[in-house]
Amino acid sequence: MWQQLEYEQFATELFLAGERVPPGLYRQIGSGRQIHVTSEDYLPASLDGRVACYVRVRTWGQMQAKEER
């Protein structure tokens, strides 16, 4: 049976390690590691030999502000 991938459940964008991203909270797929980016910066590598993929974590406040626009 087909299963929905973890990142498809909540996110529309996938970010890779080394990618420059805007400020926010990012969660690494498969590990649960969270990275808080305070200003525009690059996402870190996983350092385990795998490509680190991240999704941006949106808070309820961010979601509500987006709906109000």
What pLDDT is recorded for position 52?
Answer: 93
Rounded CA-CA distance 37/55 in Å is 13
From CA 7, how far away is CA 61, in angstroms rounded? 21
| pLDDT greater at residue 52 or residue 68 | 52
* 17-54 confidence digits (pLDDT tens): 999 999 999 999 988 899 999 999 999 999 888 899 99
Q: Residue 27 and residue 56: Cα distance in Å, rounded?
A: 6
- Provide the residue ranges of all domains of the chain, joining segments of one domain with +: 10-68
Overall size of the chain counted in residues:
69
